[in-house]
Structure 1
Amino acid sequence: MPDYNQNYSRQSGGYQGSNTRGNDSGFRKEKATFDFNPWNEKIKTWVRNEIDKETISFADEFGGFIAGKAPNNKNEALTTSQIRIAFGELRKIQMNGFNEEKTSFLMLKAKLAYAVKRHDKIGLTEFYNLFSKAYNEVDTKNVEAGTKQFDNLLQIIEAVLAYHKYHGGKE
């Protein structure tokens, strides 16, 4: 099981006025953000080529993080319904065919960006960051390569969703 006290950087919320979020100092508690640095190149490889056992290790660590397992992030967790919205859209694209649903795929990044701003939760922001990294590796001009890469992206998201639930992701 991943150690949630490591591998996360800190983000300070800055001054928020007096007694913000129950903190008398007027400052938010620091929130952990996920450190993608050790994973960036691997995510590209997984999308471009294929997933492997290391993908599953990443999904376990990342799924726990977005479920709120990192220090000070319990109230910043991604909900199961938020992740399922994206996953459902990805499944629809897969069922109808990547080539036929290319526009829906392209728009999904914008829809997630809107959700990030609307909900303002670290878990959703980090999920968007993962999705963006994987999304940028999908070739939308070459149908054969793009379809394979899309399927790999879908498998990564599916593994993250499974581990999010395993680590106690809430509705």
Structure 2
Amino acid sequence: MNTKTIDPKLQTIITDPNGAETLVKTADELGKDLQRQGLSTSQIRAIFGEVRQIEAEWSMGNDHRAKARHKLILLKPKMAYRARRERGRAVAALVKVLDPAVDLVVQGKDAKEQDDRFRRFVEFFEAILAYHKAHGGN
């Protein structure tokens, strides 16, 4: 797991059921920054597509949920690879936020808490994608 200090805003977004305002504000700022750095919609959607597949499996019940959790953890090295492979720092900037968010999800103390955190993780990623597009991301 990530031993670095986690941004308090990210902690609120993923762990606090009342963190929607922080989620929206942070996603807006991040979406704008990623657009300015030249992140393409296809780059963001490549990772988001994998998250959607994990989400579908996560919602299928306990046996599938454990597999989905495993896939979520394995998303971290895939994101690191994408960040290194892609030109520019935009993908790396996105991964810098998503990587510790994955850690926060899997650190949930039980299945219910992990479910809630995963849902907020997906909502955060959706909001980043939406704001990236709203700020002119292509």
Q: TM-score range by the shorter chain?
A: 0.7 to 0.9
The SS at the match of 2:126 is helix
**With structure 1 as the length reference, what TM-score do the two structures score?**
0.68
The aligned residue for residue 83 of structure 2 is 116
Amino acid at match of 2:131: Y
Structure 1 residue 49 corresponds to structure 2 residue 53: no
Q: CA RMSD in A?
A: 1.9
2:123 is equivalent to residue 155 of structure 1? yes
CA contact (8 A) 2:41 2:137 kept: yes
Structure 2: how far apart are the matches of 1:57 and 1:45? Answer: 12
Taking structure 2 as the reference length, the TM-score comes to 0.83
**1:52 positional shift:** 1.5
Which amino acid counterpart does residue 93 of structure 2 have in structure 1? E
Could you say which residue in structure 2 is the equivalent of 1:84? 45
Q: CA deviation at 1:107?
A: 1.0
SS at match of 1:44: helix
Larger radius of gyration: 1
Higher share of residues assigned helix:
2
**Per-residue displacement from partner, 1:142-162 (whole Å, max 9, x unpaired)?**
322111111111111110000
For 1:100 and 1:143, locate their aligned partners in 2 and report how far apart those are by CA, in whole Å. Answer: 13
d(CA) in 2 for partners of 1:102, 1:56:
25
Q: Distance in 1 between matches of 2:21 and 2:7?
A: 16
Question: By how many angstroms is 1:99 displaced?
Answer: 2.8
One-letter code of the match for 1:90?
V
Q: Map residues 1-171 of structure 1 onto 2, 5 A cutoff.
A: 40-50=7-17, 51-68=19-36, 73=37, 77-97=38-58, 98-139=65-106, 142-170=110-138
| Aligned mates of 1:80, 1:90 — CA distance in 2 | 15
CA contact (8 A) 1:99 1:147 kept: no
Q: Which runs of 5+ in 1 are unaligned?
A: 1-36
Are the counterparts in 1 of residues 32 and 135 from structure 2 also a CA contact under 8 Å? yes
Larger relative contact order (CA 8 Å, sep ≥ 6): 2
- Gap regions ≥5 residues in structure 2: 59-64
AA partner of residue 162 (structure 1): A
